[in-house]
Amino acid sequence: MENIVYFPTLDVYKCSDALCIQSDVDTPVYAGANATVLEVGKNDEIGKYVRMSLGGGYEVTYGELKDVQVSSGLSIACGELIGYVAEPTKYYSVEGPNLYIKMTENGSPIDPLEHLNYE
């Protein structure tokens, strides 16, 4: 988030407020914390995504998903299935399949790996 990262698909260097964790298509994606689903949507950059409130001003967004298993308003538990890793969008075609994770505290980006349960 403080460092400039090279994105080969776009052939640009930029700061990113999210992590992209390389994965295989169809890898299951599980909630890293108890949460309430705020939004399930889709956009050109991160494809299908799920945005969730963790409480206390924390939110997390998982993107590059398919077969999403949750819906807006649903309360989910840590470890519950959210969906599966999708084929990459055109913005990540060179990087390949990945799980996009953005976490914020009161609207400011923070490192999700310091706050979520993962394996």
Residues 47-82: b if buried by 16+ CB within 10 A, e if exposed: bbbbbbebeeebbbbbbbbeebbbeeeeebeeeeeb
d(CA 37, CA 66): 16
The whole-model pTM stands at 0.86
Q: Rounded mean pLDDT of the chain?
A: 89
Between 99 and 116, residue with greater pLDDT: 99
d(CA 2, CA 17): 9
**Distance set, CA 68 to CA 1, 7, 95, 116 (Å):** 27, 26, 22, 19
Kindly report, residue by residue over 62-85, the tens digit of the pLDDT.
Answer: 999 999 999 999 999 999 999 999
Query: Token match 């949507």: residue?
Result: 41
Residue 16 half-sphere exposure toward CB, CA atoms < 13 A: 16
